[in-house]
Amino acid sequence: MRIQKAFSSKLYAAILPPFLQKGWRFVILFLKGCGIMAEYELVREIKNLCPNNQMRDIFFEEVETNDPVGYVNQLLKGNAISLSAEEKEDGTITVHADCDGLIQKFIFTPV
């Protein structure tokens, strides 16, 4: 199901589930023009806004995407979303997000 979320078209969402259940992963490559999705380890840090609590909430997961900034933009829901990204020499992409005053940092490290 994680792969299904990478496609924005409703056509892909309608076509893929039966094939994925049968294990036909090559269909994904065909539908995406034989492109392979990049795989990242994602570290998500959410700054705690409570006074006297300096700890951050930290979550880890593996994601497949070719557009980390777009992935973060789809993930966040809010009225005022501000994103900035920086890429390091080792391929790590850091996305800083401000979503309605809640500051978050997403670190995408290639697997």
* One domain, residues 47 and 30: no
* One domain, residues 30 and 70: no
* One domain, residues 16 and 2: yes
- Helices and strands in the chain, H and E counts: 4, 5
Tokens of 67: 């557009």
Instruction: Please give the tally of structural domains in the chain.
Output: 2
What does the chain come to in residues?
A: 111
Consecutive H or E run containing 81: strand 81-87
This prediction's pTM: 0.66
Structural domain of 12: 1-35
pLDDT cut 90: percent of the chain above it: 49
CB 91 within 8 A of CB 70: no
What mean pLDDT is predicted for residues 55-81? 91
Tokens of 63: 């994601």
10-14, 33-37, 70-74, 96-100: range with lowest mean pLDDT:
10-14
* One domain, residues 26 and 57: no
* One domain, residues 61 and 14: no
pLDDT cut 70: percent of the chain above it: 68
* One domain, residues 46 and 94: yes
